[in-house]
Amino acid sequence: MMTYIQGLPKVELHLHIEGSLEPDLMFELAKRNQVSIPFNSPEEVQAAYQFEDLQSFLDIYYQGANVLINEQDFFDLTWAYLLRCQQDNVIHTEIFFDPQTHTARGIAFDTVINGIDKALQKGREELGISSQIIMCFLRHLDQDSAFETLRQALPYKDKIIGVGLDSSESGHPPEKFQQVFEEAIKHGFLTVAHAGEEGPAENIHNAMKLLGVARVDHGVRCVEDEQLVEQLIQDRTPLTVCPLSNIKLKVFQDMADHNIADLLRRGLCVTINSDDPAYFGGYMTDNFVAVAEALPMTNEELKAFTLNAIEASFISEEEKQRLVAKVDQFCASV
């Protein structure tokens, strides 16, 4: 099973690039930029990654982001993630970034986007990993801040495929951002949103109805509303599920309790993703293995996660067919 999972081509649709900041790189950048961080060693950082809920994670996540200052920092962060993609046989990735986390610290929007984009271009050329960028609004901030971020993003539309919604779901429902999403859609951006992780199934419904999302990030609480589940099946609305993240943030107590296998078997378009892998203890292969070990799955079911992710991705039909052929080729060889 390990050999099969390791070799299986994978597609990641739910990855926060700031959440791939490993402790070693955090220390390296802190030193390079002379930024003070409240830890004495990478091991101490790792030991702090025990979270009670989403907020306890976000507190340390935003602290870690303070070391990201120059374009080279964002390049190095993204390149380190792409090397992990290569290791895990991730052939396509669609990554989130949080501009407000950086612009609020006085970092220019173009510093962030250019550093990330240059690394992704290098990834395409040297590693053969295709990619897209999705800009997320921080939902704990107000909609005016999101509108300002959208304005800043417009000159970089050629680099940004869509907008998303992340950060604290609790107390910040989708309807808070309906107008800025409508504006983003007018400008040609695709839309996604985190919903149904900490918040209720109603947030999933409203993200679809009010924000026009092409896919739902997380979405595991859809099972609270049977009518919603049926709609997700019928419409093939993708859920970008993050198994290890869900355990680390206590959405489920144990992987054996996770509903991802049930959702797949019921016919939902569910995918496996790593979310914030530096903080949650695992990249793509780790997530696939954790699911397969706790919820015995067939090779065909594991393959289905990749095929679902290809279907759900923001690439052309031609490119989707190319990726499907890669998956089929691998599966025929084992």
pLDDT value of residue 281: 83
Q: Is the pLDDT of residue 202 over 90?
A: yes
pLDDT(209) > 90: yes
State mean pLDDT over 156-162.
98
Nearest CA to 25 out of 59, 57, 73, 71 is that of 73
Is residue 66's pLDDT more than 90? yes
* pTM, rounded to two decimals: 0.96
Give me the number of domains the chain comprises: 1
Catalytic pick among 175, 197, 202, 226: 197
For the stretch 21-35, pLDDT in tens is 999 999 899 999 999
Hunting for tokens 């003070």 — which residue is that? 36
Catalytic (active site) residue 197? yes
Average pLDDT score over residue span 297-306:
97
Q: What is the CATH number of the domain that holds 89?
A: 3.20.20.140
Per-residue pLDDT reduced to its tens digit, 7-23: 999 999 999 999 999 99
**Nearest Cα to 11, choosing from 238, 266, 246?**
238
CA-CA distance, 28 to 20, in Å (whole number)? 14
Backbone angle region of 136, left / alpha / beta, with phi > 0 → left and psi within -120 to 50 → alpha = beta
DSSP assignment letter at 49: -
Mean pLDDT, rounded, for 50-58: 82
Provide the 10 A C-beta neighbour count for residue 220: 23
Q: Would the pLDDT of 59 be above 90?
A: no
Question: Residue 199: its pLDDT value, please?
Answer: 96
Query: Residue 313's domain spans which residues?
Result: 2-333
Instruction: Give Cα separations from 148 to 62, 134, 197, 206 (angstroms).
Output: 20, 16, 27, 23
